[in-house]
Chains A and B, each alone.
Chain A
Amino acid sequence: MPCREFHGQLANPKGKTAKLLKDYVCILIDDLTGVDIGLFEFDPDSTLYCFILNADEQIYLRYGGRDDSSAEKYFNEDSLEEALEKGLALHKQYGASELEKTERPKPFFPRDYPEIAKDEIAKKKCVHCHHLGQARTILLQGQGKLDKMKDLWVYPAVERLGISLDVKTGLVVDDADGAAKDAGLKKKDVITKLEGHPVHTFGDLQYLLDKHPAASETLKLTMLRKDEQVEIEIKLDKWWRVTDIARRAGTHALEPFPEFWGKPLDKGDKRKLGIDENQFGLEVTKFWVKTNAQSAGLQPGDVVYEVDGTTDCEYTGNPVVWIRLNRKPGDSVTVKALRNGKKLEFSFKLKARPW
């Protein structure tokens, strides 16, 4: 559901949603300046993200999350109503002392990122979600602590593990494939726990998946299959956390700047150009500033299919991402590109940033 439409439903709820929201105190925050993002931690590349909690700031559940295809894939009336119902049930349990209290995470505020303190807060601008991802990259990069092969792949996608969920019903498996299928996950299973921690929504599942150690080789899921509780162990490959980081604001600040911008070609367009569908294929779109790649002769419309002898990669199909992850400012790269069927080669030096 488009984000603005979903906002509309929340701003002007109807039917069951309205009835459920009457039992809540609703809070809307659109400026993160004073928010404890240590407590309210969520994917900064979201369009909206919701929490259900109580006055003791005990979080019952999260509602939100996304994948590479869309920031709104998991928002719909049905799953929202289910989350609201679960929230009310959990509140009742909390009141009856049937829920364990969780320890509050260490406070962390947007102002703790120097970039945000300087560029947003000091200038009295609003702090938005995407600022957080960007500021984190800048901070870690500046401290020399950024592990490019670990820190950028946040909030992994369940699809990568072979799990497709019926988005309207929250955590009901619509289809299982790959590693999840091999582990025994079946259609209509209802996921209830990840590594023993209860999950009530897709937001919970993705949050806990993000907390799962990157180096781990397995992931335990508990499901309800009819009336039976079933546990499976999914084998994780080396790249289980990989998502398309080109869509992430955190990547925009990543050094080096690859010296060109572009649009990845789909499989059909690659085939037309004689490029294997698993290989790099990125159409250069435009140069916002004079870049070294442009000076070397690369032009809009050129299709980059090779960088420094590399034509494909396990964790990205995008040569721009490959450059950002594998090269540093000051390095030189050689790219090969197609222009009107002709193969061309360009070499240029990488700067830290475009501006």
Chain B
Amino acid sequence: MKRVATTLLLFALAVAGLVATTPTDHVSAGGQEWLTDYQAGLERARAENKPIFLEFRCVP
């Protein structure tokens, strides 16, 4: 229960941080950058020769 509460708190803080500080084409939290522009992600992956982890979030 404590672990779940901690995770939720971290998530809430992460989300609060994203909303407050980032442009609309990417979000970052905990040192992990998440792009929200698919085409920009493809270009970045090509430039850096990295695979892409693409998450579709289905819960509004």
Binding site for B on A (CB under 8 A): 2-5, 7-14, 18, 21-30, 32, 34-35, 40, 42, 44, 46-55, 57, 60, 84, 87-88, 90-91, 95, 126, 128-130
Contact = CB atoms under 8 A, between A and B. Distances in A.
Given A5-B7, A5-B8, A25-B35, A55 B52 contact: yes
A29 B36 contact: yes
Interface in B25-59: 27, 29-38, 41-46, 48-59
B58 A128 contact: yes
B36 to A, nearest CB: 6
Contacts of A49: 55-56, 58
B48 A25 contact: yes
17 contacts: A5-B8, A7-B57, A8-B8, A11-B29, A12-B10, A13-B32, A14-B30, A23-B50, A26-B34, A27-B52, A28-B27, A29-B36, A52-B51, A53-B52, A55-B42, A87-B51, A90-B51
Contact of A28 (B36, B43, B50): B36
Most buried by A among B38, B42, B55: B55
A34 B46 CA distance: 21
B14 A27 contact: no
A87 B10 contact: no
User: Top 5 closest A-B pairs, CB basis?
Assistant: A8-B11, A12-B30, A129-B58, A55-B46, A27-B41
A26 B56 CA distance: 11
B48 to A, nearest CB: 7
Contacts of A90: 51
Contact of A54 (B27, B35, B36, B51): B51
Query: Is the contact region of chain A dominated by helix, strand, or loop, or is it mixed?
Result: mixed
Given A21-B53, A28-B27, 9 more contacts: A5-B7, A5-B8, A7-B11, A8-B8, A10-B32, A25-B51, A48-B55, A50-B56, A53-B52
Given A26-B33, A27-B36, A126 B53 contact: no
Nearest to A90: B51
B57 A29 contact: yes
A27 B39 CA distance: 10
Given A18-B31, A26-B33, A27-B38, A128 B53 contact: no
Contacts of B14: 8, 11-12
B35 A42 contact: no
B4 interface: yes
A228 B56 CA distance: 36
